[in-house]
A and B are shown apart, each in its own frame.
Chain A
């Protein structure tokens, strides 16, 4: 059986938007991926900020000024939310992989819990700053 039809197998179609209705489980899962990629991109800002701090007063003033402007605040807050959300999403995978909370109703609650949890943690982070 292992040699049958190698390299000529049907591929699964891209389902989103055409045949598949988005639901909490899949939406929260897609958001884990998007938030992860977003945070990887935004890490560039944090690394630039560290490099600027290590380099000179003028470099730091420039980068720190951008990150602490109102648009920087929006981006950083979004980044923190995405990082919290992504982390909660990865922990959900751990819970699932260990065999818990696989019931659809519970899984849907976990998805909602990730959005609420990430938002609460972001608020806590903003208060802590």
Chain B
């Protein structure tokens, strides 16, 4: 990249704040959840669901739909906000997050949540699902596309790189992976725990066509997603530079908000007050 990407610089617009408020309401209902991951990935999902994915919420299994997999399943609060917003299930379900009579758990489940293509939560599975979906589409001469969102911490899993080899071997240009590169994981920073740099070079060396974007800049995300496939015969990798916990002063880059349990009403109130438009 010619200029440094500064996801910290992005000011959230009304829709980004609204989606975060839905996330917080859901969090408050379940009194737990991965807040940091949901706040870092929400603009990526927003652009996908608002402007990119070809879906029919009334017919979630429409055969020609684009396939989307949230491989970092712990970011599901963001996914649920978008799926509810699009009408895949009634918004009332959000108030039953993690409840015994609800369909929305702490990780998304295939067969239970309309619009969820694969059960994720254990890291390193979603990318291989994406390879299988994209390969089947090629075999069947279908032109739908496959999008997979990976976590940066997730990229320590060996299966990510097995899937990367496979995607390139099969020339899956109908497959796009987006990495939510917020540079933090549970214990600390990515670089301190295992390290991924030079990250873009790794994907390029495997054979991906790579782009780097500001993962909170919806215009930039839309522009780059709109130009995929970047090169015929190559799978697409978009490294989305983000801020963990983006949008609330005390959750940004704060490891304590990676996963929060026993969330109090006061915490929900504090989150909401920062997200008022």
Q: Is this pair of chains taken from one and the same complex? A: no
